Structure 1
Amino acid sequence: MAGGFRRLALSSFLLVGLGTAAHAAEPIKVKVFVGAMFEIGKNTGDRAGEFQNWYERYWQASEPIAVKGAPNPVHCNADGVCGAVLGMGKVSSSASMQAILLNPQFDLSQAYFIISGVAGTPPSRGTIGEVNWASWVVDYDLGHRWAPEENKAGEPTFMPRKGYEAVRLFQMNPALVNWAMKLTADTPLKDSDSAKAYRQRYPQEAARRAPFVGTGTHMTGDTFFHGPGMSEQAQYIAKLYGADDYVITEMEAAAITLVIKRSLGSDRVMSLRGAVNFDQGNPNETTLQHLDPKPGETAGGFAETVENVATVGARMTDHIVAHWDQWQAGVPAP
């Protein structure tokens, strides 16, 4: 009898232990995932890159979660907000995102994704310090491109290549973009004296504006293109594909969106960028001078812009988490 009791007790103990192990292995249910592209130094306490302001807001008390195939760990808080530094460029960032999506430690099936970082903007459309939600994301590279001197004057030097239609253009969920603007358009944004002075070098009204929250097409390319010719080409591609005006140049959003779309769909994907430079010089400088400015001749406003991005993105993040019963099943009606 005593032996039977011991066997019963041991069986119960094992069952409880197995249940605890199974519970411990349950994946983290992610509500919002924030993907930044780079950080400068540490995640906190030094000069901030794209991730630090997010980290200090949400993950100071978190334990890093290593993910095979991703160069940096994922951080999560108790509210289901997770984030990571994915790496710069289309290949690195999308490879990291794929590794995280496939990792069994996370349940991302109902997550909203914020692709967050800095960017450039044409002076005819934006300004230093602005924050922009993508209405469309376009891949800048999928086609044929040749030197202007090998073409008729004034004609485009880019031709789309057939077969890329499904991977070169993504419309962000209009209902989600509308929510983002509704919740963040009036966010107070920081500015800097150096950025204010730098803007005055440009004659365009948009370039001289104070920082604001807006929307438009984000152009994804691995090349840091500069100059009015390349800017015009980006606008040409955006219009050729039927997207909105090109307002942001960045390096990752199209690739990351494609990876998420193939696994989960793209209805919950957002691209959020802050402009830290113009995509061309002012009328008094050449493109090379703009690319390689003298000391003290840079745009300024970087620290303020990365903080602006996180401040705007946090408004969206906090609303989703606070009203998860309304957002869990999908983007709610306005």
Structure 2
Amino acid sequence: MAPLSLRVVVLPAIGLELRPWLDGLEFTDERTLPGLSAPLRVTDDGVGVVPTGIGKADAATTLTALFTSPRVDCSDAFVLTVGIAGGPPDSGPFGSVCVGDCVVDWDKKHRVSDDDQPIDLLYWRERDYVYDLDPTLADLAVDVAEGTDLRPVADDPPRVTRGTVVSGDEFWHGDRLAEQAEWLVDAYDAGEYRVTEMEAAGTAVAVDRFDALDRYTVVRGVANYDRPPVDRAALENLDLETGDHANHDAAENAYRVGRALVERLLAR
């Protein structure tokens, strides 16, 4: 049997991010492949959607399984990470959408408890763990996002931003850690920190190894801020009942932009 040719691969992480795609697309094929944690669902026009699971290892394993499977052909496919993220308050009101044009790996660094040196980039690292994404593809994603109707969460309408994605396996929250994320991006001279999430660095490593980094982009809806408001403790702010978040609205807006981007890519 000839491999199924994929034109676009969409990689949500969890069910919350996957659900809009299942509701919004019509799938005509479903394949269970070694290395995937869930079935790959495919439309007639070659859009494949599969959840990766949470974290860099899950994301990289999923992408590698797709690119090496004899049952699918991803040699020309665009790859999209689409889902929710946290971010600094200036990333926009909840439900805003960020297009990533650079991915910074949060984990490959050195942190110590000394207040004078809370974070460092060590001399023995073989390279900077920064992945610059294709600017033309990012331009297209921003153009699509700015023309997409986004669901408002509150009185402030969501907006579209573009910038650096900080990606790591640690779910962190709080002012000190947010300062360290900003420091890390600045130390790399890697643009403006916009959102933080848990899969893009793993996906970036995998697509880079398969010579497909120029076909990869990240679309993230802002579901929460990376630090609490001044009148609330960090742990309290993470509470799903009392904390500030907009997970479902952010997932919906990321899907709307991701879906519109998929349609634009298919029309090329």
TM-score range, shorter chain: over 0.9
Q: 1:98 to 1:280 in 2, by over 3 A?
A: same
| Larger Rg over CA atoms | 1
- Quote the residue 2:115 is aligned against: 151
- Quote the residue 1:57 is aligned against: 24
Whole-Å Cα distance in 2 between the matches of residues 51 and 164 of structure 1? Answer: 36
Structure 1 unmatched runs, 5+: 1-24, 40-48, 197-208, 324-334
Structure 2 counterparts to residues 102-113 of structure 1, below 5 A? 102-113=68-79
Write the letter of the residue equivalent to 1:253. A
Write the letter of the residue equivalent to 1:26. A
- Quote the residue 2:184 is aligned against: 237
Write the letter of the residue equivalent to 1:52. R
Which of 104, 112, 134 aligns to 2:100? It is: 134
Structure 2 counterparts to residues 208-247 of structure 1, below 5 A? 209-247=156-194
Whole-Å Cα distance in 2 between the matches of residues 140 and 51 of structure 1? Answer: 25
Whole-Å Cα distance in 1 between the matches of residues 76 and 20 of structure 2? Answer: 24
Contact (CA 8 Å) 2:238, 2:244: kept in 1 or not?
no
Whole-Å Cα distance in 2 between the matches of residues 298 and 217 of structure 1? Answer: 25
Contact (CA 8 Å) 2:98, 2:161: kept in 1 or not?
yes
- Quote the residue 1:26 is aligned against: 2
Whole-Å Cα distance in 1 between the matches of residues 153 and 219 of structure 2? Answer: 21
Contact (CA 8 Å) 2:7, 2:76: kept in 1 or not?
yes
Which of 6, 11, 30 aligns to 1:35? It is: 11
- Quote the residue 1:302 is aligned against: 247
TM-score of the two chains, using structure 2 as the length reference? 0.94
| Pair 1:277 & 2:241 matched | no
**Runs (4+) off by over 4 Å:** none
Contact (CA 8 Å) 1:120, 1:275: kept in 2 or not?
yes
Whole-Å Cα distance in 1 between the matches of residues 193 and 245 of structure 2? Answer: 23
| Pair 1:313 & 2:258 matched | yes
Write the letter of the residue equivalent to 1:33. V
Aligned residue pairs, count: 267
Deviations 1:233-283 (A, max 9, x none): 111111111111111010010111110110133000001111111111101
Which of 178, 190, 194 aligns to 2:151? It is: 190
Deviations 1:115-162 (A, max 9, x none): 111110111333311111101100011021112xx232xxx4111233
Contact (CA 8 Å) 2:236, 2:243: kept in 1 or not?
no
Contact (CA 8 Å) 1:180, 1:316: kept in 2 or not?
yes
- Quote the residue 1:181 is aligned against: 142
Deviations 1:278-330 (A, max 9, x none): 1111011122222336x3x233432222111111111111011122xxxxxxx
Q: Which structure carries more relative contact order (alpha carbon 8 Å, separation 6+)?
A: 2
Residue 178 (structure 1) shift: 0.8
What is the identity percentage for the equivalent residue pairs of Structure 1 and Structure 2?
A: 27
Whole-Å Cα distance in 1 between the matches of residues 14 and 235 of structure 2? Answer: 25
Whole-Å Cα distance in 2 between the matches of residues 146 and 127 of structure 1? Answer: 33
Whole-Å Cα distance in 2 between the matches of residues 300 and 143 of structure 1? Answer: 28
> Please, what is the CA RMSD of the aligned residues?
1.6
Whole-Å Cα distance in 1 between the matches of residues 98 and 76 of structure 2? Answer: 24
Whole-Å Cα distance in 1 between the matches of residues 112 and 42 of structure 2? Answer: 45
Whole-Å Cα distance in 2 between the matches of residues 270 and 246 of structure 1? Answer: 16
Contact (CA 8 Å) 1:186, 1:213: kept in 2 or not?
no
Write the letter of the residue equivalent to 1:151. D
Residue 164 (structure 1) shift: 4.2
- Quote the residue 1:116 is aligned against: 82
Contact (CA 8 Å) 2:95, 2:222: kept in 1 or not?
yes
Question: Counterpart of 1:229 in 2: which secondary structure?
Answer: helix
Whole-Å Cα distance in 1 between the matches of residues 93 and 208 of structure 2? Answer: 30
Contact (CA 8 Å) 1:191, 1:301: kept in 2 or not?
no
Write the letter of the residue equivalent to 1:98. T
Q: 1:192 to 1:124 in 2, by over 3 A?
A: closer
Question: Counterpart of 2:50 in 1: which secondary structure?
Answer: strand
Question: Counterpart of 2:220 in 1: which secondary structure?
Answer: strand
